[in-house]
């Protein structure tokens, strides 16, 4: 008896796939995914540094708010010093709360990816009508402020309903970052004959699961980045791979974690001639320009 399935993609073993190259003949694509998030005060969801007994949860709210006021600016400076592009995952409410922060990354030429309205809510629990409205609202605000529609989407808390990929494709999105099942981009099956690409977004090289959930230190997280990079660089001799690094400004923007992160990114920078240092959107566009036979689905 078959078990329930999502029906979005078929099984595909990495070694059996056709080989293709990233631009410049590179085989390892590396991108930084920086989450710029905002949270409701006194209600809703949010990562926690310490247990909260009641609302308003000033301790955890202000810890998260540190990311937008301080940590993100330090990360912007670090990326600039190293010459790293960034994929910036933006809650649309941030345009009203801290517009100068989004401006600072736009000025760098970074890619702006839609990250819902706020990280105080999950879209997966909504009706299809309400979820469609959420996607439309976040998309419209980013389009107005950026002058163009975002190509990519990351759901707050990686929350999806049974129809999220369909709704994203219908809203004009070209790729989604919610699915972490592969080291290569994969086409998702969506209704209406449309195409939606799943670009790998890490849940291992992600400071929230690593540091907040599993309580790794900043140094241990940096070691994870270095070890993953070295291993994937070797593995990519045989097949194209994507290595994403997911960062949250209120976590790795803290000084004691920023220092080891700097060492890890400097390690990657030493090998920049051997890799494609890019954004998730550029990865998606490259794959969408290839033959469909090269991309698993």
- CATH code of residue 81: 3.20.20.370
Domain range for 62 is 19-40+51-294
pLDDT confidence band for 106 (50 / 70 / 90):
very high
Read off the pTM. 0.97
Is residue 9 domain-resident?
no
Total domains, the chain: 1
Is residue 45 domain-resident?
no
- pLDDT on residue 184: 98
Is residue 187 domain-resident?
yes
Is residue 36 domain-resident?
yes
Write out the DSSP string of the chain: -PPP---S-----GGGSPP--BGGGB-EEEEEEEEE----TTSS----SS---SSS-HHHHHHHHHIIIIIHHHHHHHHHHHT---EEEE-TTHHHH-HHHHHHHHHTTPEEEE--S-TT--STTS-HHHHHHHHHHHHHHHHHHHSS--SEE--GGG---TTHHHHHHHTT--EE----S-SS-EEEE-GGG-EEEE----SSSBHIIIIIIS---HHHHHHHHHHHHHHHHHHTTTS-EEEEEEEEHHHHTSHHHHHHHHHHHHHHHTTGGGSEEE-HHHHHHHHHTS-GGGS--
pLDDT digits (tens, 9 = 90+) for 210-262: 999 999 999 999 999 999 999 999 999 999 999 999 999 999 999 999 999 99
Is residue 25 domain-resident?
yes
Is residue 13 domain-resident?
no
């Amino acid at each position: 008896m078959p078990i329930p399935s999502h029906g979005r993609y078929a099984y595909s073993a990495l070694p059996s796939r056709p080989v293709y190259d990233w631009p410049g003949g590179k085989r390892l694509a590396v991108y930084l995914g920086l989450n710029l998030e905002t949270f409701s005060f006194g209600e809703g969801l949010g990562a926690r540094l310490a247990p909260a007994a009641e609302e308003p949860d000033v301790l955890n709210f202000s810890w998260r708010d540190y990311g937008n006021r301080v940590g993100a600016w330090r990360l912007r400076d670090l990326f600039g010093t190293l010459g790293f592009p960034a994929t910036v995952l933006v809650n649309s409410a941030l345009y009203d709360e801290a517009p100068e922060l989004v401006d600072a990354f736009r000025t760098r030429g970074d890619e702006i990816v839609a990250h819902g309205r706020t990280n105080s809510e999950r879209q997966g629990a909504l009706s299809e009508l309400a979820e469609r409205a959420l996607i439309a609202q976040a998309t419209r605000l980013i389009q107005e402020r950026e002058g163009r529609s975002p190509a990519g989407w990351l759901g707050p808390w990686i929350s999806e309903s049974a129809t999220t990929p369909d709704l994203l494709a219908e809203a004009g999105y070209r790729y989604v970052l919610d699915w972490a099942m592969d080291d290569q981009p994969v086409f998702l099956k969506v209704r209406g004959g449309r195409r939606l690409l799943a670009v790998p977004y890490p849940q291992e090289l992600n400071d929230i699961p690593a540091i907040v959930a599993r309580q790794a230190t900043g140094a241990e997280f940096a070691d994870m980045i270095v070890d993953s990079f070295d291993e994937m660089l070797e593995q990519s001799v045989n097949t194209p791979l994507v290595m994403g690094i997911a960062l949250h400004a209120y976590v790795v923007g803290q000084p004691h974690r920023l220092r080891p992160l700097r060492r890890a990114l400097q390690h990657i920078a030493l090998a920049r001639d051997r890799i494609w240092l890019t954004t998730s959107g550029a990865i998606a566009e490259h794959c969408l320009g290839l033959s469909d036979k090269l991309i698993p689905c």
